[in-house]
Amino acid sequence: MSHLNPLPRTANPELEEEFALLERILGFVPNSVLTMQRRPKIVKGFATLTRSVMDPEGEVELGFKRLLAHMASAAAGCQYCAAHSIIAARIHGISDEKVEALWNYEHSPLYSEAERVALEFARCSGAVPNAVTPELFERLRAHWNEKQIVEMLGVVALYGFLNRWNDSMATDLEAPALATGERFLAKHGWNAGKHSGRGRKATSGS
pLDDT of residue 67: 98
Q: Is the pLDDT of residue 119 over 60?
A: yes
**Span 97-120, average pLDDT:** 97
pLDDT band at 1 (very low <50, low <70, confident <90, very high): confident
**Span 100-110, average pLDDT:** 97
Rounded CA-CA distance 197/180 in Å is 14
Q: What is the 3-state secondary structure (H, E, C) of 103-128?
A: HHCCCCCCCCHHHHHHHHHHHHHHCC
- Tens of pLDDT along 36-57? 999 999 999 999 999 999 999 9
Rg (CA), the chain: 17
CA dist 99 → 14, 38, 69, 137, 184 (Å):
36, 35, 13, 25, 8
pLDDT of residue 197: 78
- Tens of pLDDT along 127-176? 999 999 999 999 999 999 999 999 999 999 999 999 999 999 999 999 99
Q: Among 68, 108, 110, 58, which residue's Cα sits nearest to residue 88?
A: 68
CATH number of the domain at 59-192, out of 3.30.470.20, 1.20.1290.10, 1.10.1060.10, 3.40.190.10? 1.20.1290.10
**Span 59-83, average pLDDT:** 98
Q: Is the pLDDT of residue 206 over 60?
A: no
Tell me how far the alpha carbon of residue 48 is from its chain's centroid.
16
SS3 3: coil
Q: At 92, which amino acid appears?
A: H
List the domain boundaries for the chain.
59-192
